[in-house]
Amino acid sequence: MKIGVVTFPGSNCDRDTLDAFASLGVAVRDVWYQDTNLGDLDGAVLPGGFSYGDYLRSGALAAKAPVMGAIRQQIAERALPVLGICNGFQLLTEAGLLPGGLRPNRQGEFRCDWQMLRVTASSPLFPGIEAGTLLRLPIAHGEGSYYVEHGTLGALFTAGEAWLQYVDERGDLHPMANPNGSVANLAGVTRGPVAALMPHPERAMSQALGSEDGRRLLVAWIQGVDGRKSHAG
């Protein structure tokens, strides 16, 4: 198995993400934003950061990069698993690969803190992480308020694509647990082989750093990638 982590101009979590996957014993390589040859990859990760300085909107310019055309093609041709983290989430919505969009935080400020999350719906993209699972992960974003129209929101929940929500320390869902004003407290969504979340699992790989729930999440995603690869083979 080989995972690719894409670097865009302005990415600042690409090295952390590469190191996180390497620490899990996975073959991983850096993918430059101008690369279009992704045939050796079993999965691709769009990391956090400020691609193109977040000009226009976060992820808007990166969505037009050559690598995104290749990723779109690989998704269409062989359902390539793709994971977007923070800026990667923004980018995937700008590219139309996930519904909705990310707006500036409700408070008008950059939020950097630990956050409790609850898995809303189990997903084959993350085998072994069942609905109701609580995760403690850090957030670091200025435009993390997920928005989608009301009709689409209901469809997301019905389809099990509303995957991750912000909750309080007890796992309860309420507005005060929402750090950015996301509709329905949503922190992550999925569609087909594509998944994204605003929190940073690559920053929660060890209890010494505050949590190892990021490791748990990435291990599950790797297992999902491996399962899809084995099924395809």
Structure tokens at 10: 């302005």
Which are the contacts of 93, defined by CB distance < 8 A and separation ≥ 6?
A: 59, 99, 100, 101, 102, 196
Sign of torsion, CA 158 46 211 216? positive
CA angle 104, 110, 186 (to 5 degrees): 55
- Catalytic site residues? 86, 200, 202
Which residues in the chain belong to E strands, given as ranges? 2-7, 27-32, 43-46, 82-85, 101-103, 111-119, 134-141, 145-147, 162-167, 186-191, 194-197
Structure tokens at 159: 């389809």
Order across the sheet with 27-32: list the strands: 27-32, 2-7, 43-46, 82-85, 194-197, 186-191, 162-167, 111-119, 134-141
**Which of 184, 196, 188, 182 has the alpha carbon at shortest distance from 107?**
182
Which are the contacts of 33, defined by CB distance < 8 A and separation ≥ 6?
A: 6, 7, 8, 9, 62, 65, 66, 67
Structure tokens at 111: 């939020």
What is the Cα 223 distance to its own chain's centre?
16
